[in-house]
Every structure is written in structure tokens, then in C-alpha cells.
Amino acid sequence: MSTTGATADPLATLGTLPGVAESVESVRKAVDRVYGHRIMRRRSNEITSEAALRGARGSAALSGADWALEEVRRRTDFSGDDGARTVGAALRLTAEAGQLLSIWRQSPLRVLARLHLVAAADSDPRVGRPRQDGELVEEPLVELPLPDAAEVSGRLEGLSRLIIAGGSAPALVTAAVVHGELLALRPFASHNGLVARAAQRIVLVGSGLDPKAICPAEMGHAELGRAAYVAALDGYVSGTPEGMAAWIAHCAKAVELGVRESTAVCEALQRGAA
């Protein structure tokens, strides 16, 4: 998405695309329902913890490490093969995202750098800074043409300005744009998908749509499948109104599936307490 156009609030403009208002309203109603569940009044911390685990599992699956939930829950050592390191990175990012909410609206680029540091967890000099021309990008799943370093820098700065300025765009729209822009740019040498989904989580939580982080959209994206994820991203990258609306609708469906996950957890806890 170009963030340097003439409109004062391009994110709000996206909210007027056909079907987007309906997606926003559907998500809001779904989130309100799970927050109104009786179990949430007494055991919300448990729901948050379980949502974090499921969200990390979903994000890792989209980056090629499709582990069973119980394996993610059981494992304590994530230093083995590439899959284990990917799951470990996803878990670290989910935990770290909650610590960065207060910084995001003041310095989103600082938060993105921190997320990449947490995900990579090594001393590679490329870690925590946008990639330079000629540097390779290790990013499973996304095979779109890579923007050059100058475009990455300009679009990140534009995105940062929009976030800092705030505006009237619904949280779902802002989260979808942040997510899509980071996937399209792949600004880091690695872990861009994991970072993009963690940033989406920060927007959804920090905006107040999902303040307790109980709606794991990452799990929803994984359930919708990698092929649908890539196809929706193609729509975002196209920049057309239809493509942008399709990407936002895809993100909305992922949030709703995340709500369904947490609703099922609430129901299971309620049965256990009966």
C-alpha cells in the first residue's frame, strides 16, 4: 500500500471499500461475544495464556513449522532444527508483543526492530535493522518480488507516520494494513512473516479491540491455510480496491476464527467447572 498519497487518512479511506464495513462489524460482534462469556469474568488470564500459545502455534505453522498444539505445549527446548527454532521464535514474539504496546504508537519502527531481534535471537549484524540492497531474504511462503531498500525505507517511514498520527480507521483495517505491508516489504533478512503477525497482534490489542489478547488471529490465518493466505496477500500487493478489500476480509475471517478458538476454550473450562 502506498502511504504517501494525497488523502489525509488513507487507512480510514480503506474502511469505506465495499464489504469492509461489514467485515469490521462482524469482527466487533464476534469479539464482544467472547468477551461477554461468563468464564471471562473469572478466568480471563487462562484464556489469554491459551490464546497466546495457539497464536504462536498458528504463526509458526504459516512459516513452515506446522506442529501439533500439544507438541508446542510440551516442548521446552527450541534450539534444535529449523522447525523448532521457528516455533521458539513465534513463542518469544507472542510473549514480547504484550511488552511493547506502550511504545508502538510513539515509535513503531523501534518496535519492529525489537520484534526482529527477539525472533532472530542471534548476533547476525543484519538483525534488528531493515535489509540493504543485495542482502538475501530468508522468508518461507512469500515469493513476491522484493522491493529495493529505498522503497522499503520510504514505505516503513510512511507507515510509521500513519500509526503515530492515529486516525479514525477501524482497528481491523489498521492491523490488516500493518500485516500486509510488512509481508509485502519483507524489511528484514529473516522472520518477516512472524514479525508481521506479531505486529498485527499489537495493533489489535493496543487499539482496544482485543485488550486481553484472547483472539489469536494467527491461529485463524493458519486454519484458513497457506494458499488462501498467499492469495489474499496478492490482493493486498495489487493495490486495487478489490484486492485490498479481499485482504482485509481475509484478516477479519482470521480474527473471527481466533475468537472461535477462544470461545471453545471458554466452553471447555466452563464444562470443567460445572
pLDDT score for 8? 64
Around 129, how many Cα atoms within 13 Å sit in the side-chain half-sphere? 9
Q: Which of 8-12, 152-156, 166-170, 226-230 comes out lowest in average pLDDT?
A: 8-12
How far apart, in Å, are the Cα atoms of 71 and each of 84, 86, 178, 225, 234? 10, 13, 30, 20, 32
Q: In Å, how far from its chain's centre is CA 255?
A: 10
Closest CA to 152 of 135, 165, 140, 169: 135
pLDDT score for 26? 98
pLDDT score for 273? 61
Percent of the chain with pLDDT over 70: 96
pLDDT in tens, 88-115: 999 999 999 999 999 999 999 999 999 9
pLDDT score for 4? 41
pLDDT of residue 154 exceeding 90, the answer is yes
CA pair distance 19, 57, nearest whole angstrom: 30
Question: pLDDT band for position 79 (50/70/90)?
Answer: confident
Burial class from Cβ neighbours inside 10 Å (0-12, 13-18, 19+) for residue 22 reads exposed
pLDDT score for 215? 97
- The dihedrals phi and psi of 249, each to the nearest 5 degrees, come to -65, -40
CA angle 95, 214, 110 (to 5 degrees): 40
CA pair distance 172, 24, nearest whole angstrom: 6
The model's pTM: 0.94
pLDDT of residue 5 exceeding 70, the answer is no
Cell 489478547 sits on residue: 213
CA pair distance 61, 223, nearest whole angstrom: 10
What number is the average pLDDT over the span 147-158? Answer: 96
What number is the average pLDDT over the span 163-169? Answer: 92
Question: pLDDT band for position 80 (50/70/90)?
Answer: confident
Closest CA to 223 of 89, 59, 91: 59
pLDDT score for 139? 85
- The dihedrals phi and psi of 169, each to the nearest 5 degrees, come to -65, 140
pLDDT score for 141? 83
Of residues 94 and 166, which shows the higher confidence score?
A: 94
pLDDT of residue 2 exceeding 90, the answer is no
pLDDT score for 167? 87
pLDDT in tens, 36-56: 999 998 999 999 999 999 999
